[in-house]
């Protein structure tokens, strides 16, 4: 299912979506709850949705007089384009009135005691029963206010009208009459209409096949409308609507390769928004009625073993999805209290995967060679730097895959373990029991390692042990949360590292970003206009000591052309392959600082980041800016995504 606002039962969002007939009072209540958030449509939209009048005819009528599709809608009947019943059906659709199948509706026994069959036949209606202080009656003219007032007088109740066809109303009344004295019981036992994804019955979902998310939403609403407490519903069997809805949500996120699920609650009757983060951007997945927000949050808390009753402070937990019948997947759960006693939830999907080969990381050929050269060292310190979610761990595992041979013992300490490789001895960090990165490092040094990978250097203790290990014949890989390679050096020195030891231990630093890659199927090429190459060149050499001639040489070489006039840049267009977005997947942007005598000397005297940067550029390093703009002229990214990596 593509991330979009789902079609709610009974209320289609487009012409291709037909409403599901309501078959029970519980479903009717659920549909009415959903209807509160459904957009109002015009009569024209209703007619087009229902296929009663084609667009060309409507255009012609509207051109004559727009009022024909408003107050004078009866003109459509006069012209014999619609029957009176069809018009009433369209007006009901326009007003957001639910549709029921009166023949199969599970009418309670007392409904025909409130409105007798004789009175119902005189008014061409079917009583459906009471809910939420209202008595519901089916009519083929549900917008008729005089009819509603008359039925209020007959029943002595507050009446709400819903739509049903005249034929279905009369068929149900015939059945009711023929049942005689046992009519109420017979009516109650009439089989309800089956819904797609559901077994025959008013509520229970089918055990075979996978229901759509919108059907599971309806099922959850039905459970709540039936009086089930949300905690009980959340811990019920897999046939529970809420349980299955949460599982479907996680399955959809995994299928769509989402990295995170965001559940955003709102006060009052406002909808709860669920969004997926895909390729770095948040995309809408589902709108939920307010009635479901508590049960949804409670269900996730139960799965992650958090305190359901606690709503005042943040909570963190994890879900082992395999324990709930899903694939091997770990979800990190963060519950944050918001205003009005509500809670937002963010779930990070941490699927165990295999390492990506270096050739598929999006590296330039020169950078791929540098990666192999760095990972070929037998001792020293290699760092991957960048913000959260920039692919640092993926990069380190790709480097490990290059050196993961039977002759080497490799230990890793990670939080969490996202990527697995045969031959690696991987340890899950757990600070609650004292298994920190520093503690794991001390343990590894007693376990005869050749290569050690530490998930992150967060403190002075871990940094000190990592440098000591790298100086005693071990290759150590780790990550830092810094913006650039040169800033990473200063960050470690600020943690109290000895400049002499650090300078000797450092092999290289990889700073990186992830940006959205252009869809190769629909990206549109453009030649640079007058003055555009000059501006691109100025941006390329900005904040570096590169000359314009050297910058031009690099850009032309990257593009594989001989003159600026031949350079092509691409823009996002959108097609079926990329769901109309113009982007498909993500692309790494890299900056690799390789240690050398000049860099080592600057580290030893605690030089500023700008000095380190200029020395690295002079040694041949491509900055994030350089790599991004070179990939721009190669048609891999557009201008917007390129600039996101360095601005």
- Which range in 2-6, 31-35, 629-633 is most confidently predicted, on average pLDDT? 629-633
- What is the C-alpha separation between 436 and 614, in angstroms, rounded? 36
- Calculate the CA 373 to chain-centre distance: 38
574: left (phi over 0), alpha (psi -120 to 50) or beta: left
Give pLDDT, residue 16.
39
Mean pLDDT of the region 593-599: 94
Rg of the chain on CA atoms, in Å: 33
Q: Tokens 């390093």 identify what position?
A: 621
| pLDDT(211) > 80 | no
Q: Count Cβ neighbours within 10 Å for each residue of 466-505 and write b for 16 or more, e otherwise.
A: bbebbbeebbbbbbbebbbbbbbbbbbbebebebeebbbb
What 3-state DSSP class applies to 199? Answer: coil
Confidence of residue 334 (pLDDT cuts 50, 70, 90): very high
Q: How many CB atoms lie within 10 A of CB 563?
A: 10
Comparing 8-22, 155-169, 434-448, 481-495, which segment has the lowest mean pLDDT? 8-22
Give pLDDT, residue 48.
63
Per residue in 5-24, pLDDT (tens digit) is 333 334 333 333 455 678 78
- What is the C-alpha separation between 174 and 165, in angstroms, rounded? 14
Per residue in 605-633, pLDDT (tens digit) is 999 999 999 999 999 999 999 999 999 99
Enter the pTM of the model.
0.63
Per residue in 80-109, pLDDT (tens digit) is 555 666 677 777 777 778 888 888 888 887
Per residue in 59-69, pLDDT (tens digit) is 666 666 666 55
Give pLDDT, residue 49.
62
Confidence of residue 235 (pLDDT cuts 50, 70, 90): very low
Per residue in 248-287, pLDDT (tens digit) is 999 999 998 899 999 999 888 788 899 999 888 888 998 8
Task: Write down the mean pLDDT value for the chain.
Answer: 81
Comparing 236-240, 263-267, 332-336, 361-365, which segment has the lowest mean pLDDT? 236-240
Confidence of residue 43 (pLDDT cuts 50, 70, 90): low
């Amino acid at each position: 299912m593509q991330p979009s606002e789902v079609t709610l039962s009974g209320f289609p969002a487009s012409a291709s979506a037909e409403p599901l007939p309501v078959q029970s009072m519980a479903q009717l209540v659920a549909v009415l709850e959903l209807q509160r958030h459904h957009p109002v449509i015009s009569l024209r939209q209703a007619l087009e949705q229902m296929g009663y009048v084609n667009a060309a005819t409507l255009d012609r009528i509207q051109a004559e007089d727009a009022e024909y599709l408003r107050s004078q809608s009866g003109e459509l009947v006069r012209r014999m384009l619609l029957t009176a019943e069809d018009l009433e059906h369209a007006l009901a659709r326009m007003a957001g009135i639910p549709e029921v199948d009166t023949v199969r509706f599970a009418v309670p026994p007392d409904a025909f005691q409130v409105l007798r069959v004789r009175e119902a036949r005189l008014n061409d209606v079917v009583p459906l029963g009471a809910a939420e202080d209202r008595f519901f009656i089916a009519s083929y003219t549900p917008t008729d206010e005089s009819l509603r007032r008359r039925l209020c007088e007959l029943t002595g109740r507050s009446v709400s009208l819903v739509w049903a066809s005249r034929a279905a109303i009369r068929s149900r009344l015939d059945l009711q009459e023929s049942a005689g004295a046992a009519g109420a019981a017979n009516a109650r036992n009439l089989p309800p209409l089956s819904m797609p994804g559901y077994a025959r019955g008013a509520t229970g979902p089918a055990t075979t096949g996978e229901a759509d998310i919108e059907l599971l939403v309806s099922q959850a609403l039905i459970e709540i409308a039936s009086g089930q407490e949300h905690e009980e519903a959340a811990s019920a069997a897999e046939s529970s609507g809420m349980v299955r809805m949460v599982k479907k949500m996680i399955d959809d996120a995994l299928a769509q390769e989402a990295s995170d699920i965001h559940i955003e609650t709102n006060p009052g009757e406002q909808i709860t928004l669920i969004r997926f983060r895909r390729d770095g951007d948040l995309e809408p997945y589902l709108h939920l009625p307010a009635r479901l927000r508590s049960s949804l949050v409670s269900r996730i808390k139960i799965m992650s073993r958090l305190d359901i009753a606690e709503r005042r402070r943040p909570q963190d937990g994890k879900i082992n999805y395999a324990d709930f019948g899903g694939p091997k997947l770990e979800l990190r759960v963060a519950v944050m209290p918001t205003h009005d006693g509500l809670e937002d939830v963010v779930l990070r999907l941490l699927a165990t995967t295999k390492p990506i080969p270096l050739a598929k990381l999006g590296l330039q050929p020169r950078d791929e060679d540098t990666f192999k050269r760095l990972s070929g060292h037998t001792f020293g310190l290699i760092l991957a730097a960048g913000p959260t979610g920039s692919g640092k761990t993926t990069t380190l595992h790709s480097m490990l895959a290059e050196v993961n041979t039977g002759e080497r013992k490799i230990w890793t300490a990670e939080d969490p373990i996202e990527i697995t490789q045969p031959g690696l001895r991987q340890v899950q960090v757990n600070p609650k029991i004292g298994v920190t990165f520093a503690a794991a490092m001390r343990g590894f040094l007693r376990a005869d390692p050749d290569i050690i990978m530490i998930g992150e250097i967060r403190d002075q203790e871990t940094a000190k042990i990592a440098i000591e290990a790298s100086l005693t014949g071990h290759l150590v890989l780790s990550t830092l949360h810094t913006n650039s390679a040169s800033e990473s050096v200063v960050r470690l020195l600020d943690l109290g590292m000895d400049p002499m030891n650090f300078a000797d231990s450092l092999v290289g630093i990889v700073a990186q970003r992830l940006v959205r890659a252009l869809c190769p199927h629909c990206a549109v090429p453009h030649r640079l206009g007058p003055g555009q190459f000059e501006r691109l060149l100025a941006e390329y050499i900005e904040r570096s000591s590169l000359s314009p001639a050297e910058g031009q040489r690099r850009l032309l070489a990257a593009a594989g052309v001989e003159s600026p006039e031949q350079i092509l840049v691409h823009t996002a267009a959108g097609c079926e392959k990329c769901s109309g977005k113009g982007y498909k997947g993500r692309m790494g942007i890299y900056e690799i600082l390789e240690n050398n005598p000049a860099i080592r000397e600057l580290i030893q005297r605690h030089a500023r980041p700008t000095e380190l940067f200029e020395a690295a550029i002079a040694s041949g390093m491509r900055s994030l800016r350089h790599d991004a703009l070179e990939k721009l002229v190669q048609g891999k990214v557009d201008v917007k995504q390129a600039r996101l990596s360095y601005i």
